[in-house]
Amino acid sequence: MWLTETDQRTFLDGRVREALSAAGHDQLVLDLAGIERAYEALTGELPGVAVRFAMKACPVDEVLTCLASRGAGFDAASPDEIVQALATGTRPGLIHYGNTVKSDENIAEAYRLGVRDFATDSVEDVLAIAANAPGARVFCRLATTGAGALWGLGRKYGCAGTDAIQVMLTARRHGLIPAGLSVHVGSQQMTVEAWHDAFERLADVLVALSLQGVHIDHVNLGGGLPAAGYLDKAGNPLLPPIEEMFAALREGMLRLRRLAGRQLAFVVEPGRHLVAEHGAIRAHVSRLSSRRQLTGVHEKWLYLSCGKFNGLYETDMLRYRLVFPGHRDGEHIPAIVAGPTCDSDDVFSDGLAFAQVPQAAESGDPVWILACGAYSMSYTTRGFNGFAPLPITVLRP
């Protein structure tokens, strides 16, 4: 989608615009001041709730240090992420191992590094934690449908409520502390109903555990909080009902506290919600070309220097807003947008959607791609087809 000047002021921070304008080569620009504002807004909406940033969304040292300085801890999914989190000066007690998939070696290394809070969703994993992280605290992840999210995170993670009870009882029998429950409503969740459903599941298991004498001390509400600034595959703005979501979270937490009848802490694991809107990519046009398909359909294709394998992996489910700074005037035409690699999967929106692009676009023209602060760095390959990962420019407050 091509943006007017008014749109650009809405979706493009002035500092980021200046950095993109000054850039002479492709790069990812991250704005720490914007990330700080997002963190303060989140903690204002959910006072008293502990934030554990989902590192996978933007594992950039400067971003992690910035969030740690504001009081955030970290949701880590591997020993290497734990090491990176500790390098910010964060205490191990503010880092949890949030991945339910982990080997014996992973568990032992995390324990050696000082982590004592582990996510789990199976008896087998609990037994491995007991053997390799004795006395650790575990929180059991409940399965959700993922309905309403762009990425539902379906069957790989989480267990049914009946299994969760057995998992927590097993943890207690083997010397672990059955400390909490967790959910994840799916990445870029777009509905309030998903949160209502998650709280229903949490409430049922919390009560059932209480009847078994297991009294948890916290609930981890996971990730899923959405970002603005994206488009859907058809090019329409994705407008999540974020205020209603926060209201549902506050209401749900109050209900769980009443059910628990005791002190109950809460944790959230935001990722893209904190960083997506505060990053942008400066790329360039490789070629605007026209070709006729075997069906006889004539198509325009805009090939960019950045695609699925070097920063824009998530174009399978969403579209980014595009700015063509050298073509503010002039005719725009519909074109399919694709990345530079010799791979047929390197096509935005599966090649089924058209973007409005400048008819006069030429090879080398700069293109700004907005709301790229989440996953652009972490999903990139090490250099597929010889196209290197984007260098990163960090704008400090």
d(CA 240, CA 100): 28
Question: Would you say 1 and 356 are in contact if contact means Cβ atoms under 8 Å apart?
Answer: yes
Catalytic site residue from 58, 140, 306, 342: 342
Q: Any idea which residue has 């089924």 for tokens?
A: 352
Question: Would you say 167 and 208 are in contact if contact means Cβ atoms under 8 Å apart?
Answer: no
Name the CA radius of gyration of the chain, rounded.
22
Cβ neighbours for 25, distance < 8 A, ≥ 6 positions apart: 282, 391
Question: Would you say 20 and 340 are in contact if contact means Cβ atoms under 8 Å apart?
Answer: no
d(CA 167, CA 165): 5
In whole angstroms, what separates CA 252 from the centre of its chain? Answer: 22
Token representation of residue 311: 């920063």
> Please, what's the b/e burial string for 186-205 (b: 16 or more CB within 10 A of its CB; e: otherwise)?
bbbbbbbebbebbbebbbbb
Report in angstroms the alpha-carbon separations of 246 from 43, 45, 46, 391, 393: 11, 7, 7, 35, 32
For helices 123-132 and 161-173, give the axis angle rounded to 10 degrees: 20
Residue 355 pairs in a beta bridge with 335
d(CA 364, CA 319): 22
Question: Exposed/middle/buried for 135, CB within 10 Å: 0-12, 13-18, 19+?
Answer: exposed
Task: Reply yes or no on whether 342 is catalytic.
Answer: yes
Beta strands in 254-297 (DSSP E): 265-268, 279-292
Helix segments in the chain, DSSP class H: 5-11, 14-22, 32-45, 61-69, 79-86, 104-112, 123-132, 161-173, 193-211, 242-260, 272-275
Cβ neighbours for 234, distance < 8 A, ≥ 6 positions apart: 353
Q: Which residues are catalytic?
A: 342
